[in-house]
Amino acid sequence: MNDSQVTPKNTLRCVQCHEPLLRQGATMCCANAHTYPLADGIIPILLDQRGNCSHYAGQIEYFTNEFKNYGGYRLDPWMRKYVDAAMQHFGPPHAGATAVDIGAASGYITIELARAGWHVIALDLTPASMVSLVQSARQQGLLERITPVIASAMDLPIADASIDAIVGNAVIEHLPDDDKFTAELARVAKPGARGLLVAPIKLKYVWPWLWPVNYYHDRRIGHLRRYDRATFAALLARHGFSVDQAQYSGHFVKVAGTLGQMLLGTHRYDEWLERCDRRGAQRAFGSSNLTVTFHKLSRGAII
Ligand SMILES: [Zn+2]
């Protein structure tokens, strides 16, 4: 490992005092002697006591279990949709452009952004997911452009105004305080930075016969709330961001087709189902997920 892998342009910060972090032996350390261990010899665990809550403990347990049988890097058609949406909104990276992928999980967005030339800080709360991400990044030859960190999305270990692009795919609904999370996004984003957030849509847009299964899924996976365009617009505006676009996915044909394929043990119709689903991108009703793209307003701009 070299320093550029851990501190690209020195953007990592201590979560207790916000001083820069440097590698010191087998740890990361700030000028005030706050010390953080490395998981797998490479991934700083940048959590402090504020990260300890029963909800987070449950989330780590759930997602550690999810990654037990992780079978290596894949980019399925439904994943490609989010990668395309991010790339389209962010545009090509300028030299030194840095993105942060919050709740990076298996890391497919991190890896595809790195392949496109971005430097990516990949952040997740669950060590097992970051270990998988590092393995995939190494296998794809892209680890040099990726800084993996284990941290809370509500206490980003990142310098102020250092980020050009933000990804938060299916993470905000898991967080105890989405206002604090959005304040953190505003702190780390440069003026004009672009972002993409994905979340489950409010149940009033979901077909009523799917409410029980959605309710059960929310409890099981740890979703604390759902969103629509208006809630995202208000939340983001409070922190100096403006929504650009909303897109909807997971319509009935996609959900029913995916379940049918699971029963038949096939992925033969994946591409077709995705194409069908994309046709409903502007239709909120009957969808499952909402993707919003946004940007940070320059200082002094009128919202
Ligand atoms: Zn410190």
- Please, are residues 32 and 18 in contact by the beta-carbon 8 Å criterion? no
Among 14-28, 50-64, 144-158, 221-235, the least confident range:
50-64
Amino acid 68: pLDDT: 76
pTM over 0.85: yes
- 211 pLDDT higher than 60: yes
**Ligand 1 centroid from CA 21, angstroms:** 8
Among 34-43, 49-58, 88-97, 206-215, the least confident range:
49-58
Instruction: Compute the distance between CA of residue 76 and CA of residue 95 in angstroms, rounded to an integer.
Output: 29
Task: Write out the CATH class of domain 53-296.
Answer: alpha beta
Higher-pLDDT residue of 258, 43? 43
**Ligand 1 centroid from CA 240, angstroms:** 28
Instruction: Compute the distance between CA of residue 228 and CA of residue 56 in angstroms, rounded to an integer.
Output: 24
Please, which pLDDT band fits residue 268 given cuts at 50, 70 and 90? confident
- Residues with Cβ within 5 Å of ion ligand 1? 14, 16-17, 19, 30, 32, 34
- 120 pLDDT higher than 70: yes
- 1 pLDDT higher than 60: no
For the chain, domain boundaries? 53-296
Q: Residues 192-201: pLDDT tens digits?
A: 999 999 999 9
- Write out the two tokens for 185: 């996004």
**Ligand 1 centroid from CA 35, angstroms:** 8
